[in-house]
Amino acid sequence: MENKMGKSKKLVGILMAAFGAFLFGIGGVVAGDLLGRKIISASSLVSFRLTFGGLILLIIFFIKDRQQLFDVFKNKRNILTLIAFGVFGLLFAQSMYTLSVSLGNPAVATVLQSLSPSVMILMTVMFEKSKPSKYLIGAILLSIFGTFLLVTNGNMNELSVSTMAVVCGLLSAVGVANFTFIPRKLVKENQTIIIVGLGLFIGGVIGNFISPFWQVSSAATAWDWAEIAFIAIFSTAIAYAIYLGSLNYIEPILTSLLDILEPLTASVASVVFLGTTLYSVQLVGIAVVILSVVAINVMDYYKCKAEDKEACKNKLKETFDGEVENARV
């Protein structure tokens, strides 16, 4: 009976993580539709998404545990970290990703953003002076090769999407790495969902000074507003909530691996709903990038597993919490 309950909980966790990743991926495609029809600018869409996505998460947590929500602001360091997290992490990552979608397509933008694990390894090597294993180096080279196939379609003389779309997509991966590293101390002391909600809201408020969320085309229909609301509610607030909630049922490594559904969803939905053309070489590139991400996660897990089991579990939990995941978008 106990074993059956354990399996049921694991299945719930898998479904939650998968559905969260699915919502993240669909959000990019819906954004591509809105941006392609010039209903809203990329920057205004980011402002809308961050402001209301963060606000919904904060309202939910305020009802649940308002005291813990206010405890985050007890010292100046926390406030400064939250601002840096919101601006240089979430706002930057979301802005670069959405621009990449606008200048290229959701499939390429999402796959480029999924390179964040490789970027994080490189940043760790640069700032923490750690030496990556030869296997991690191999995974990074694999991700570079996959990216090359994706953006060139095998032709070195011509990019399959605009140069700026590629640059913005790669910068969005840097942004994801930023919002992994910046709040690491905060997520050890507070529930991850609080930090995510505050970061989203702060990033949204700052974003509104640059490009207000209400700057929407006068030609916008009820359907267009429904798409904008879908991005904020389902592809941001709900996606983060259920994706992070999956940690209550399954190990972080499994949740991270299920995250590959995001670029897969974005790629398939882009082809089906937006008419995006992905050639065979590009599909191979997408597969190679996803393989490199899986390899990095698996290698970290087994390296950790060889150490003390309890310390390993805590280390994986902290790593995943730091990634707040790959919420990338």
The confidence score (pLDDT) of residue 135 equals 81
Concatenated DSSP letters of 73-120? GGSHHHHHHHHHIIIIIIIHHHHHHHHHHHHS-HHHHHHHHTTHHHHH
Indicate whether 184 belongs to any domain.
yes
Q: What is the pLDDT of residue 303?
A: 59
For the stretch 227-239, pLDDT in tens is: 999 999 999 999 8
Domain span at residue 109?
A: 2-323
End-to-end Cα distance, the chain: 39
293 in any annotated domain: yes
- Report how far residue 90's alpha carbon sits from residue 85's, in angstroms, rounded to the nearest whole number: 6
- In sequence order, the 6+-apart residues with CB closer than 8 A to the CB of 57 are 193, 196, 197, 200, 237, 240, 241
Q: What is the pLDDT of residues 51-86, one digit of tens each?
A: 999 999 999 888 877 777 788 888 888 899 999 999
Q: What is the pLDDT of residues 122-176, one digit of tens each?
A: 887 777 777 777 888 888 888 889 998 898 887 777 778 889 999 999 999 999 8
Per-residue pLDDT band at 47 (split at 50, 70, 90): very high
- Give the pLDDT confidence score for residue 298 in this predicted structure: 74
The answer, yes or no, to whether residue 316 has pLDDT greater than 70, is no
Alpha helix (H) ranges present in the chain? 2-36, 42-71, 76-84, 92-103, 106-113, 116-128, 134-152, 163-181, 184-189, 192-210, 222-232, 239-245, 252-258, 261-274, 280-305, 309-323
Domain count along the chain = 1
Tell me: pLDDT of 104 over 50.
yes
How sure is the predictor about 222, in pLDDT bands with cuts at 50, 70 and 90?
very high
Which residues face 40 on adjacent strands? Answer: 216
224 confidence band (pLDDT: 50, 70, 90):
very high
Is a pLDDT exceeding 70 seen at residue 321? no
pTM: 0.85
Domain for residue 329, yes or no?
Answer: no
Is 328 part of any domain? no
**Residue 28 reports pLDDT greater than 90:** yes
